[in-house]
Amino acid sequence: MAMAQENGKGWWDEFNDTIGPAARNLAELESRSTALRTHGPLVIPGMLQTEDYARAVLAATEANPQRAGRYTEFRLTRQRVLTGDSPVTCRAVVHESALHTLVGGPTVMRGQLLRLMEVSRLPNVTVQVYPFEAGVYAAHTRSFVIFGGGAPELDTVYLEHPTNSLILRDGEQLDEYAKMFERLSELALAPVDPESHASRDSLSLIQHVMYAL
């Protein structure tokens, strides 16, 4: 990816005043990946967040407004991998809980839900909602991202944690998370399709939640 430089430096170095090693690793992984598979159980995945939504999420963990603003800017800059010259393929499975979790108030949430519908118009982005009625699945409470490399053995799993995020590269662990994501996708509703008129798919559920706010 053009955003990652061969000498190991990248755009993320501009945020060294704020972000730590885990965030830098995340940005570099995203910039070097060809595909992303992300699952958000309680909040919308960062790659799909609006500025207002991201700011509200980050303000909940960062009391310093200036630092929260820098974190927000960093998160939005990461999203450029979806729309650059060589955009990555992004598949996201979002639990219905994330649609109902009120982040930043009704206006912010309506903007965020609208963003999910709009970003799904990109040919490289697929968004599915895992509905309540699908029940419990082993992975549905875990937030994770699978970064696709040029070959399966180069894939990486990122597990975000408030104090100690993990990066997994072990083959068996990669295979486990890949299978979990595919199962989540199978159990989720049909992907958001702005042209869809189905009575029960990801788009209709997002619209239902948005209009109820």
Q: How far apart are CA 39 and CA 142, in angstroms?
A: 8
Residue identified by tokens 């309540």 is 132
Strands, E, within 115-193: which ranges? 125-130, 144-148, 156-159, 166-168
Distance (Å) of CA 207 to CA 92, 109, 192: 17, 12, 10
The helix (H) or strand (E) run that includes residue 37 is strand 35-40
Q: How many CA atoms lie within 13 A of 150 on its CB side?
A: 2
Query: Coil, strand or helix: which one is 81?
Result: helix
Q: How far apart are CA 174 and CA 152, in angstroms?
A: 9
Please report the pLDDT score of residue 3 as a whole number: 37
Please report the pLDDT score of residue 141 as a whole number: 67
Q: Domains of the chain, with CATH numbers? A: 19-212 (3.30.870)
Please report the pLDDT score of residue 140 as a whole number: 62
DSSP string, 103-124: -S-HHHHHHHHHHHHHHTTSTT
Please report the pLDDT score of residue 62 as a whole number: 86
Query: Coil, strand or helix: which one is 94?
Result: strand
141 CB contacts (<8 Å, ≥6 apart)? 41
Q: How far apart are CA 186 and CA 45, in angstroms?
A: 19
φ, ψ of residue 36 to 5 degrees: the values are: -125, 135
Decide: residue 9, CB within 10 A, 0-12 exposed, 13-18 middle, 19+ buried.
Answer: exposed
Residue identified by tokens 């630092």 is 67
Please report the pLDDT score of residue 1 as a whole number: 38
The list of the chain residues with pLDDT below 50 reads: 1-7
pTM score > 0.85 for this model?
Answer: yes
DSSP annotation of 49: -
